[in-house]
Structure 1
């Protein structure tokens, strides 16, 4: 995980939940920690690691993740044992 990933990870775990984190940055963190990306139909995407799966819809037309998506990503990263 590089320094940009660590900064985004800190933003994901910050309170209050930010609504200005780019979804691509969150995907970058998930890939950096070893998650496999499973593309679904439309904007659906799943991330799998060690038998744990998280499902998301990519935000559109905006590029920023919604607050609930940041919370869900935070919960998934915690389950994987990844925290800032």
Structure 2
């Protein structure tokens, strides 16, 4: 995993929740992890990773994700077995 993706994973799991993460970075990370990301209805995207499914909402007014989306993404990744510690030893 690239340092860019590891740093993004750390930012997603860091407290306090970051309000400066761009949607395209999240989408890139999900694809890198092997997730299936398909457009659903409107701004919704259906993501599947390691048997876990989640509907994520693309930001409407900008490409920067709000804190609620980052929290939702954090919970989704944790359910799918993806945490920063999983990949830190590989770096």
TM-score, structure 1 length as denominator? 0.92
Which structure 2 residue ranges, 5 or more long, are not aligned? 85-91
* 2:38 is aligned with 1:31: no
How many aligned positions are there?
84
Q: Which runs of 4+ in 1 moved over 3 A?
A: none
TM-score, structure 2 length as denominator? 0.85
CA RMSD of aligned residues (A): 1.1
Partner residue, 2:88: none
Q: 2-side partners of 1:15 and 1:26: how far apart?
A: 17
| Larger of the two Rg values belongs to structure | 2
Partner residue, 2:70: 70
Secondary structure at 2:62's aligned position in 1?
Answer: coil
* 2:44 is aligned with 1:44: yes
Partner residue, 1:16: 16
Partner residue, 2:2: 2
